[in-house]
Structure 1
Amino acid sequence: MMRISDTVKHLIIINVIMFIGTLAIGSGNLFYEWFAMYFPQNDAFKPWQIITHMFMHGGATHILFNMFALWMFGSPVEQVLGSKRFLFLYISAGLGAVLLQLGFYYYQYYQASFGISNLGLSSDLVHSIVNINSVDGNYIVPEIFRKELIEVLTDSNYSGPQIDAATFGSLFEMNKVTLATMVGASGCIMGVMAAFGMMNPEAKLMMIFLPIPIKAKYFIPGIIILDLISGLTGQSFFSPSNTAYMAHVGGAVTGFLIMWYWKKTQFNRNRWN
């Protein structure tokens, strides 16, 4: 059985502590509100969430699969890179993940905003609308948003053009993006997986639901391509539909670029082989 490396062990411990805190403190909500990554237009956004969301998880299955992947891919990568460079790779991949996912969210947000340009809404009113809590359980519900929207517009004495189906759809899309949250180490782990694939291209890997051995040089790019397709189309292949797919892509690309630099640089102190 492969020995767990020191930094990977400490990362797993931190993730587990954060998960226990999520369950034990504030009825499961307080830790999430503090440390999950919220869209910057959301009133709940705090700067530290850019880092803390990497150590948060949405459920037992989520953390179990992520920590298993961190152990399986992280330990051999750390053994080659050493603890400092491994931690740099891990955190950088997490930052690359959140950067790409936020960029994708902003694209969706501003695309939707073009559909409300004729309403003449003030920036403060738009902010109030997109922050409407239309969540019921794990879902963002149009009916809840519609009801709350009427109240917000009434309270603000809105007297502009009528909100038709198209403009309502645009407002609801902006609300969905604003309410979106990110948690999990997946972006970090995708960066580590990219590093593992570059170090061990001939290693054979298998998915739980597809027990066919595939070489890492095909397996890992294949996973990244599926995540990219899922992010662009909304079509889920193996992950839950609320997965931040572009974060996976961002983490993997960041990990690849860092490893490419370390491999190609002429300075031996930066090489990993």
Structure 2
Amino acid sequence: MKISTVIVDDEPLARKGLAIRLAEFENIKLVGECKNGIEAVSLIPQIRPDLVFLDIQMPGLNGFQVINKLKELNQPIPLIVFVTAFDSYAIKAFDVHALDYVLKPVDEQRLKEAIDKVTINLQIKQQGGTNEKLAKLVADFTGDDCEDILRKLANGETLTSSSYPEVLAIKDGSEVTRVPVVDVQWIDAAGDYMCVHTADKTHIMRRTMKELVGDLDPKKFVRVHRSAIVNIKYVQKLVSHISGEYHLILENGEELKVSRSHRDSVKQMIKS
């Protein structure tokens, strides 16, 4: 499968360097180059490439504006891999549904990883309607382990019907930390923020308790009171006190009070 590809970058040396790198991949067919965003908006609808390596900071129209302009013109958006010298754009790159994001100067291994991801994605698209849900998951990247989903489909493995993400994407300034849900021991609220506790670190994310509860599998996580959720996997025991209060003891020694309104559901989870 040849992947028709366009390079968009206002730096001639950057375009030439990437073209040389891409020539090493047998499945990449370079079909066009653009020196700015305006040229890209004109060329992409004409030749409809499978893939665009898109610089972000360009005169006229930047990379994000190119995508927005194509949407305004009701043009199909090819797979986008952003290539830029500025890592501060990482979060926004995924917000506009980029498949991947690599930094200049482009590392050889990192470029290979990006092309592998593109290849798998295109293979899945060719499989037709049965994978529409997956394609949406990949396009709407919000923290799910999309690469794992793509790998399973490519290998013919069965996908579970669970809509719960396997990874929490936690934004911190210009960085995004991917925390496996299975490693989350418990979560508690601190004002407008949520503290996500793993064995070795506490991550801070700006989400409401209600939003977070909706993303966690109720068969694995139980709410113990208004401002705390616990991964039942890490519960060592449930202790009742003379006062009538119940407390959960986690494997790490953490002790959490169970409120009256959540006592029955906690007991049920402990017994099951």
How would you bin the TM-score normalised by the shorter chain?
A: under 0.3
Which has the higher relative contact order, 1 or 2, with Cα contacts under 8 A spaced 6 or more apart?
A: 1
Larger proportion of strand: 2
Greater helix percent: which structure?
A: 1
Q: Given the two structures, how large is their TM-score scaled by the length of structure 1?
A: 0.26
Bigger CA radius of gyration: 2
User: Normalization by structure 2: what TM-score?
Assistant: 0.26
